């Protein structure tokens, strides 16, 4: 496994992180999730990323990984969904962190992101101040923001955050081109989400209504050279993109994680191909939230 410094946070993260959204699905058995989470750590993946909104995900991380807490870096996202609190308030940030600590059976969380709140919420300042209060109290180590476009730009320029998470892939290069360079100038950590763009190559025709629809449209419009292995092309592009410390990829299959690791071990894409992909991206396409 390749490990990289997460900005100046003092954390060293695996180049691939495990996205724990899919394990929040109650239709996946506890035994499968237990095996998958522990296998991810055994493979050298040390960044586990979840969120308040991922249903059973946080609870399962606590149940199946708390005995190995010192082996991984835990990331979650807050801001909503706590009974008795209004979303995106000072109080719900602190309550959400306390709930995450309880559910994931830990005394601290390494990274906590504000989860895609809009720029107006950020400008009010109270959610950011609550996050910094939790950091001061030792409940979290890294105050972070997850989002896109103008809200992400505001977060970077606020000088309140230690790290960011944003969409980076072949079909979503807005942050890569415009915002990540700013973040790196400030020594922020950078975590890429959606590194394979929800795998648009799976669909022969436009997947109307599917999560991958917009990425599929962009991918087709870019008219890239045919690839024998689109997963290889997409993943290596994102993992080795300038400024990326870790790329989060979700799976419910241990073999898929092993394949992902084998892919990134090949190193960066051919520079000519990587440059072609960059120049094929429409500069007017904004980041997808």
So what's the pLDDT on residue 146? 97
Predicted confidence (pLDDT) per residue in 58-75, tens digit: 999 999 999 999 999 999
For residues 78-95, average pLDDT: 96
Predicted confidence (pLDDT) per residue in 95-133, tens digit: 999 999 999 999 999 999 999 999 999 999 999 999 999
Map out the domains of the chain with their CATH numbers. Answer: 3-280 (3.20.20.100)
Detail the DSSP E strand segments found in the chain. 3-5, 12-14, 16-19, 47-49, 73-78, 109-115, 140-146, 163-167, 189-193, 246-250
C-alpha closest to that of 66 among 44, 38, 98, 85: 38
Predicted confidence (pLDDT) per residue in 219-241, tens digit: 999 999 999 999 999 999 999 99
Structure-block tokens of residue 193:
């989400």
Would you place residue 289 in the very low, low, confident or very high pLDDT band (cuts 50, 70, 90)?
confident
Q: How far apart are CA 53 and CA 48, in angstroms?
A: 15
């Amino acid at each position: 496994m390749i490990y990289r410094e997460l900005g100046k946070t003092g954390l060293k993260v695996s180049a691939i992180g495990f996205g724990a959204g899919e394990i929040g699905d109650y239709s996946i058995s506890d035994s499968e999730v237990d095996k998958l989470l522990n296998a991810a750590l055994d493979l050298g993946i040390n960044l586990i990323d979840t969120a308040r909104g991922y249903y059973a995900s946080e609870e399962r991380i606590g149940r199946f990984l708390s005995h190995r807490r010192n082996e991984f870096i835990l990331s979650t996202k807050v801001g909503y969904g706590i009974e008795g609190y209004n979303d995106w308030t000072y109080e719900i940030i602190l309550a959400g962190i306390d709930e995450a600590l309880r559910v994931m059976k830990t005394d601290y969380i390494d990274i906590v992101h504000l989860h895609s709140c809009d720029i107006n919420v950020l400008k009010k300042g109270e959610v950011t101040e609550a996050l910094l209060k939790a950091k001061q109290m030792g409940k979290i180590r890294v105050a972070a923001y997850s989002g896109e476009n103008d809200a992400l730009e505001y977060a970077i320029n606020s000088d309140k955050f230690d790290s960011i998470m944003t969409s980076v892939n072949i079909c979503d290069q807005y942050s890569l081109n415009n915002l990540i360079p700013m973040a790196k100038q400030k020594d922020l950590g950078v975590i890429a989400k959606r590194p394979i763009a929800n795998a648009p190559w799976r669909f022969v025709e436009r997947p109307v209504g599917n999560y991958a629809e917009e990425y599929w449209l962009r991918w087709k419009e870019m008219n890239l050279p045919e690839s024998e292995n689109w997963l290889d092309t997409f993943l290596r592009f994102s993992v080795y993109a300038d400024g990326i410390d870790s790329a989060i990829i979700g799976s419910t299959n241990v073999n898929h994680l092993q394949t992902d690791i084998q892919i990134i071990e090949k190193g960066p894409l051919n520079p000519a191909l990587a440059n072609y992909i960059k120049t094929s991206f429409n500069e007017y396409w904004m980041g997808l939230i």
